[in-house]
Amino acid sequence: MEIGIGLWGMQSTRSAPLPHVTLYRRLADDAQHAEEYGFPSLWLTEHRFWYDGYLPSLLTAGGFIAGATTRLRIGTGCLLLPQHDPLRIAHGVNTLDQVSHGRLDFGVALGYRDQEFDGLGIHRRDRAPRMDHALRILERASRGEAVTDNGAVVTPLPVQPQVPIWVAAVGEHAVRRAARFGFSILLSDAHDDRRAGELVELYHRTAEEHGTDVSNARMGILRYVWVDEAGDAAESTVIPRLRSLLLEQLGGWRYLSDEDGVPLGFETPEKLRRAAEGVIRNNAAIGSPRTGIRRLKNLAASGVDFVVARSHLISQTQPELYRAMELLGTEVAPAVADAGARVGEV
Amino acid sequence: MRFGIGPFSAEAFGNVGWTEAYEVMGQAARVAEESGFDSVWVAERNFTDDGYCPSAFVAAASLAAQTEALKIGVMPILGLAHPLYVAEDAAVIDILSAGRAIIMPINAVAHELAAHAIPESSYDSRFSESVSVLLDAWSARPFSFRGEHWTIPAQLDGHVENRSGMVTVTPKPAQIELPLWIGGFWDYGRRLAAELGLPMVLGAVSDNSLLGDLWGDYDRDAQASGRRPLRVLIRDVYVSNGDDPASECAHMLSRQFERYDSWGLWSGDASDFEALARGRFLIGNPDAVIEQIREIDDRCGLDKLICRMHFPGMPLHQLLRSVRLFSSEVIPEFRMPDLPHQIRQGV
């Protein structure tokens, strides 16, 4: 199992209203530290029209990381593809892969906030067909094939023969679609280990039914991860931060849902709070390196082979973050490197 | 006078592949930063056969990470996709460069409009609406916009979250007023810039004999602003102490103008290099180039000269030689007008 580091959304929140200039200067520092601690990749996250200045332009921020680092892969986790113009994104993807010498991991998600679609004049209900259409264009653009009716070809081509495409998969439908195309998946931090295992199994079953070659596909997941030599210190400092992040952000976005799949917003505070506690108790790896290793090995046993470790929350200081990243990169990651086996190989 | 370097465009040509072309851009920017230039520029074109950079924001963001003081000039095509994408990218690049961005939108050319299935007749109004949206989006206030092409927010059926009828685009640029300069490579762009009182940049497609009239028209239309307009000019520049500097770069420049011709940005015979170069390129040994710049400056009063010094196919060593010679011999003449002649002569 491999561990990438995430997620950077460049938010200046009500509780930590740092200047955006400071946050982006830290992004360059953070990326250089991630490289030094041996992380294979750093992941960015997108939203728009949100009060805290959440990063809306992942490929531009990716160009900045490319200029600040030399080996680190740049992950979009995730770019909300249906909210974009596919030709514009195809140009950005190919350019970023050139600027970074082939270091792009391109993750895409549907997006869910009405307001984001509406600001751009796009129907939210069209997001699934828009996603399919855009993915087809990206695939053609990466191979130098025509992307428009009049035969236009995107140049330059990417450096990588195939820029890895990761699809955020929350529900079974998305997992099946990704499996049919052979894309890698990024499961949600709202999935517990057992659910992650079911979805990985569903992915492989679907791929087999369709005869898709998924030998290069990765089974990824987002997880809140924070390690500290003193396990109780990790819990006492990070859990309140994580709780405030979940309640403040996820309530606004209706990201979590109840057991019936109904999205939870600020208008159902009790349910939202229960869902947030569920994420903290069941889907996070917070504590000593030993705790982190144990929890990530459990996850690996479910067939997940890649974790975007969400150590970058919002209100931690840089020294705190770097200490946690160093422990994660140098002690936890090597200990779980051989954990699990890809389900397809069992 | 201030000096910029670029616009870079990272085409592959001859022995130089795409990836190397982006490396050249970064290396040249780092050298330029220590050589008296104060800005670096990246332009974009889409769907070219040589991979002309199609995403200026992505390439320019990488330059922002590799420099600390250069202004980061970005020349995105406006009016193809939704203008809020450009507004967001521009705000982000201004922040990640700690307030160093200058945004200079340029016009789409025929093959780009065709690929996006946009009728040429609608392009002027798409461009002007996009400029309005950029200014609204960068302001610190919520806004709404209703135009011929775009309505923001759209308030489409079934969207329930936003009932305010307003949108706040975030994050905001680091600069209180993000500089917006209009590429004056087409008639409509020049008029729009004058109308809005925005700086207008003349480029390689306008030869020296036209500069006076074009700026005169702009001044007449812009006079309401009451401020002396910025005079910014892009020129192709090559400096060498060789016997015949033009012969060292002629083939590269001719090719460049063949492409401008094919894109409809310029028309003429690019194979007649002497005719092409006359009154358009700044080429020669340092003294000759000083004289050429002086001639334009005396006539038009330049505030900033953006020097395109890299042409597709030019090896890095040749580029850096020209950049270093320009920076040591030419820039001080204009950037340091009070330079004591004793220092100039090395006493």
Contact between residue B203 and residue A89 where contact means Cβ atoms under 8 Å apart = no
Dihedral pair phi/psi, residue A167, rounded to 5°: -115, 125
**Contact flag A12-B156 (C-beta cutoff 8 Å):** no
Q: What is the mean pLDDT of residues B259-263?
A: 90
Dihedral pair phi/psi, residue A73, rounded to 5°: -80, 150
Interface test with A, best of B40, B111, B170, B176 (most A CBs within 10 A): B170
Contact between residue A54 and residue B88 where contact means Cβ atoms under 8 Å apart = no
Touching B: A residues 85-104, CB under 8 Å: 85, 87-88, 91-92, 94-96, 98-101
Dihedral pair phi/psi, residue A331, rounded to 5°: -110, -45
Residues 6 or more apart in contact with residue B150 via CB below 8 angstroms: A121, B82, B83, B129, B130, B133
The number of helices, as runs of H, and strands, as runs of E, in chain B is 13, 11
Mean per-residue pLDDT over chain B, rounded: 94
**Contact flag A121-B10 (C-beta cutoff 8 Å):** no
**CB A42: neighbour CB atoms within 10 A?**
27
Alpha-carbon distance of A263 to A279, in angstroms, equals: 15
**Site of tokens 């330079």:** B339
**Contact flag B51-A28 (C-beta cutoff 8 Å):** no
Would you say the C-alpha torsion B288, B268, B125, B79 has a positive or negative sign?
negative
CB nearest to B85's CB, from A21, A66, A85: A85
Task: Report the pLDDT value the prediction gives residue A344, as an integer from 0 to 100.
Answer: 45
Q: How confident is the model at residue B224 (pLDDT cuts 50, 70, 90)?
A: low
The answer, yes or no, to whether ipTM is higher than 0.90 is yes
Percentage of chain B surpassing pLDDT 70?
A: 98
Q: What is the 3-state secondary structure (H, E, C) of B254-311?
A: HHHHHHHHHHCCCCCCCCCHHHHHCCCEEEECHHHHHHHHHHHHHHHCCCEEEEECCC
Task: Report the pLDDT value the prediction gives residue A345, as an integer from 0 to 100.
Answer: 45
Q: Tens of pLDDT along chain A (346 residues)?
A: 999 999 999 999 888 899 999 999 999 999 999 999 999 999 999 999 999 999 999 999 999 999 999 999 999 999 999 999 999 999 999 999 999 999 999 999 999 889 999 999 999 999 999 999 999 999 999 999 999 999 999 999 999 999 999 999 988 999 999 999 999 999 999 899 999 999 999 999 999 999 999 999 999 999 999 999 998 888 888 998 888 888 877 777 777 777 777 778 888 888 888 888 988 988 899 999 999 999 999 999 999 999 999 999 877 899 999 999 999 999 999 999 999 865 444 3
Contact between residue B46 and residue A91 where contact means Cβ atoms under 8 Å apart = yes
CB nearest to B167's CB, from A49, A55, A95: A49
Nearest C-alpha in B relative to A148: B115
For the whole model, what pTM was predicted? 0.96
Interface test with A, best of B77, B86, B95, B143 (most A CBs within 10 A): B95
Contact between residue B170 and residue A48 where contact means Cβ atoms under 8 Å apart = yes
Task: Report the pLDDT value the prediction gives residue A247, as an integer from 0 to 100.
Answer: 83
B contacts of A124 (beta carbons < 8 Å): 158-159
Residues 6 or more apart in contact with residue B287 via CB below 8 angstroms: none
Alpha-carbon gap: A119 to the closest alpha carbon of chain B (Å): 4
Residues 6 or more apart in contact with residue A150 via CB below 8 angstroms: B114, B115
Q: What is the mean pLDDT of residues B269-289?
A: 92
Nearest C-alpha in B relative to A86: B81
- Burial pattern B292-308, b for ≥16 Cβ within 10 A else e, equals bbeebbeebebebbbbb
Task: Report the pLDDT value the prediction gives residue B229, as an integer from 0 to 100.
Answer: 85
Percentage of chain B surpassing pLDDT 90?
A: 82
Task: Report the pLDDT value the prediction gives residue B201, as an integer from 0 to 100.
Answer: 97
Contact between residue A3 and residue A43 where contact means Cβ atoms under 8 Å apart = no
Task: Report the pLDDT value the prediction gives residue B347, as an integer from 0 to 100.
Answer: 65
Interface test with A, best of B42, B63, B92, B129 (most A CBs within 10 A): B92
Q: What is the mean pLDDT of residues B27-34?
A: 97
Task: Report the pLDDT value the prediction gives residue A291, as an integer from 0 to 100.
Answer: 94
**Range from A66-70, A259-263, B104-108, B207-211 carrying the lowest mean pLDDT:** A259-263
